[in-house]
Amino acid sequence: MSCFDKQLYNLMQKDSKEVISRHLLLIYQINAIVSECLNEGKESHYLVGSRFLRMNYEIFCRSEKESVHLITGPEAGVFKTLGDALILKHEVRELIEAKVFDTEVNKSLQELHFEGYKLWGCFHVHPGYGIAATGPSSIDMELIDKFEAGKYKTVSAIFSRDGFIRFLAPFPFKIHIYGKGVRKINEELYCLVKVSEIPE
């Protein structure tokens, strides 16, 4: 038996329960770090229903002005469900711009945390029609960066006035849509088929 083995044996005999407890805690911490490293860069999976997308679109279309919704919902396994919209008070709400009060966002985030929910997304509408209208603005990118800096792993969705939807995030993601009435164009672009019509 080596000198190291003898020391370890004596230590374990002296207070074996405490040593085992410390080692288990260390193993748990190492596993958590390894898991975080392995999951870094992997796709985040978001599940959203066609009815929920249409509901948000219809709310957006009630006004010609832009607006922003924060999105939450349950988490099941690898899926984050985009299924509940928080309608916010806006600091600026014009035809081509929408900004929400920081205090309003912070209040909503606190409420979500208190109720056991997480922020999964941010939906808003742009003026204009077609796919081009779903391109992100500098204000959109600033909001995405704010959420990212706050450790909120959110996906954004930008709606056009004729039902095109672009999903975007600063990390790999995959959108899973259930229900009918939404046509997939590519991994980021979709359209509400009863509103927009694109070639097959």
Please tell me the predicted confidence (pLDDT) of residue 7.
Answer: 58
Please tell me the predicted confidence (pLDDT) of residue 29.
Answer: 55
State the pTM of this model: 0.69
Please tell me the predicted confidence (pLDDT) of residue 3.
Answer: 58
Mean pLDDT in consecutive groups of 10 residues from the start of the chain, 200 residues: 58 57 56 52 87 89 74 90 77 49 70 86 88 86 80 89 92 92 94 67
Q: What's the half-sphere exposure (Cβ side, CA atoms, 13 Å) at 153?
A: 14
Please tell me the predicted confidence (pLDDT) of residue 126.
Answer: 87
Task: For the chain, state the CA radius of gyration.
Answer: 23
Please tell me the predicted confidence (pLDDT) of residue 139.
Answer: 77
Give whole-number Cα distances, 36 to 22, 41, 51, 77, 172, in Å: 21, 10, 34, 16, 15
